[in-house]
Amino acid sequence: MTLAILRAAFLLLLRDRGALLMALVVPVVFFMIFAEIFATAAGDQLQLRIAIVDEVKSDESTRLLAALTAEPAIRPVPGALTRESARDLVRRGTADVGLIIRADGEDLATAAGLAAPPLLLLVDPSRSVTATVLSGQLQRAYFTALPDLAVGRVAELIGTAFTTFTPEQQAEIAAGLKDLRNRAGTEQPAGWTFDELVERDNVAGQNAALNNVAYYAGAVAFMFLLFAAAQSALGILDDQEAGILDRIAAGPGGIDVVINGRFLFIVLQGLVQTCLIFGVAWLAYGVDLPGNLGPWAMISVSSAVLAAGLGLLLVTGCQTRAQAQVLPTVVILIMSAIGGSMVPRFFMPHWLQQLGWATPNTWALEAYSGVFWRSEPALQLVPICFSLFGIGIAALGLSHWLGRRLVRD
């Protein structure tokens, strides 16, 4: 008897494509996506897009950059850049981190920590891990490409710390120590580390420390905006099953009022949801919501419009309620994973980052990043917001067309 139930359950699963998809296909797809992401993030495949500017163009700087860009983890952003354009690329997220070999710093060959370091990293604090990775790669390239400089510095250090010096040398050292004592506390201690060559510069807005909170507020808000939209859109199919849709469609408004009414509801619901998440981010974590209210509202409205249109499209495109329960969930989960709602996109391999642009999650997150990380002016966000809004309205139009199928002739 137990086997009979087993057989029935097996046959039912085979007949239910949605359940089959959720049970067997979706887990594998998810595994593959996250394997790609975390194999990259945790392994040695992380690829950084770096905005490189060589202001010095010396023999040493050329050798250093040649060795650095030969590393598989480094992918220079193409084109001739200036310090300002590199800074802009990092701020916009086009580059993960910037590297300037600067003309206004010490010489790469002779830097002694007495002036500005020769290497300047342009860092977005929300992606500070990229600067750490670049520092490691830079250090490796330095010792590979410029061993003469590196050994010379080490020899100098050993000569200072471990050899026996002549009386003349000891007198000089004593004088030097006296001089160092006089300057104690005003300069770095003697010795040399690679970090002396590198300085970090934050390219983000004033609330850089809160960038991660703002990122996840946007990421979570948009993902749940999509889930809530799809869930609410399912109500149309409930109404269809109950016969309410037929009744309303027979009235003067037809099916259009159902789709439009549901759309407005989902947009409002999405706005409330986004307000709550960012409200908590503001009150509990100090994200500067009041200071960015206008741009934030612009993004949130266009995101809510997109989510509502997409939710309706996904649901009205399904043939059955069972299908409509599974398909939107699968699509939203995959979009969220690829689009950066679950894991920041810079952790992903390049091809997956590019694929992310096919998801609205990436667009919305870029827009929120523009506000809370990069302090971009509202005008700069208009194209993304306009696109989100436009796609949402287009999806609404398609939902109207598909929705007519739901009404019985």
Partner 1 sequence: MRRRVGFVPQAIALWGHLPVRTNLEILGRLAGLDRDRIAAAVTDALAWSGLADRAAEPVATLSGGMQRRINIAAGTLHGPDLLLLDEPAVGLDPVSRQAIHRVLEGLRDRGMGLILTTHDLVEAEALADRVAVLAGGVVRAADTIPILVGRLFGADQEVLLMLAADPAPALRDCLRTTLFSPTNADRIWVGRLRGGLEQLAGLRSQLVAAGADIDELRVRQPGLHGVFVELTGQVPNE
Asked if residues 98 and 122 have their Cβ atoms less than 8 Å apart, the reply is yes
Most distant CA atoms of the chain, gap in Å: 108
107 or 241: CB nearest partner 1: 241
Nearest alpha-carbon partner for 134 in 146, 119, 145, 150:
119
Contact with partner 1 (CB under 8 A) among 72, 136, 152, 251: 251
What's the closest the beta carbon of residue 262 comes to partner 1, in angstroms?
A: 13
Q: What is the number of other CB atoms lying within 10 angstroms of the CB of residue 304?
A: 27
Q: Is 294 in the site for partner 1 (CB under 8 A)?
A: no
Q: Is 377 in the site for partner 1 (CB under 8 A)?
A: no
Strand order in the sheet with 48-54: 74-76, 48-54, 97-101, 119-123, 198-202
Q: Is 244 in the site for partner 1 (CB under 8 A)?
A: yes
What's the closest the beta carbon of residue 259 comes to partner 1, in angstroms?
A: 13
Helices within 164-210 (DSSP H only): 167-182
14 or 242: CB nearest partner 1: 242
Q: What angle (nearest 5°) sits at the alpha carbon of residue 95, between those of residues 97 and 385?
A: 130
257 or 264: CB nearest partner 1: 257
What's the closest the beta carbon of residue 404 comes to partner 1, in angstroms?
A: 16
Contact with partner 1 (CB under 8 A) among 160, 246, 265, 349: 246
Q: What angle (nearest 5°) sits at the alpha carbon of residue 249, between those of residues 244 and 251?
A: 105
Nearest alpha-carbon partner for 385 in 361, 365, 364:
364
Contact with partner 1 (CB under 8 A) among 191, 253, 377, 397: 253
Q: Among the candidate windows 123-131, 154-162, 251-259, 340-348, which touches partner 1 by CB under 8 A?
A: 251-259
What's the closest the beta carbon of residue 408 comes to partner 1, in angstroms?
A: 9
Q: Is 252 in the site for partner 1 (CB under 8 A)?
A: yes
What's the closest the beta carbon of residue 261 comes to partner 1, in angstroms?
A: 9
Contact with partner 1 (CB under 8 A) among 242, 268, 272, 293: 242
The torsion defined by the Cα of 69, 75, 33 and 363, in degrees rounded to 10, comes to 160
Nearest alpha-carbon partner for 37 in 278, 246, 306, 334:
334
Positive or negative torsion for Cα 338, 344, 348, 352: positive
Q: Is 350 in the site for partner 1 (CB under 8 A)?
A: no
Q: Is 159 in the site for partner 1 (CB under 8 A)?
A: no
What's the closest the beta carbon of residue 251 comes to partner 1, in angstroms?
A: 5
3-state secondary structure of 274: helix
Tell me the chain's radius of gyration from C-alpha atoms: 29
54 or 246: CB nearest partner 1: 246
CB within 8 Å of 295: residues ≥ 6 apart = 370, 371, 376, 378, 381
The 311-330 contact track toward partner 1, x by CB under 8 A, reads --------------------
Distance CA 192, CA 198 (A): 12
Q: Is 384 in the site for partner 1 (CB under 8 A)?
A: no
Q: Among the candidate windows 16-24, 39-47, 243-251, 368-376, which touches partner 1 by CB under 8 A?
A: 243-251
Q: Among the candidate windows 122-130, 205-213, 239-247, 386-394, which touches partner 1 by CB under 8 A?
A: 239-247
Q: Among the candidate windows 119-127, 223-231, 249-257, 362-370, which touches partner 1 by CB under 8 A?
A: 249-257
The torsion defined by the Cα of 5, 10, 16 and 18, in degrees rounded to 10, comes to 120
Contacting residues toward partner 1, per CB under 8 A: 242-244, 246-248, 250-253, 257
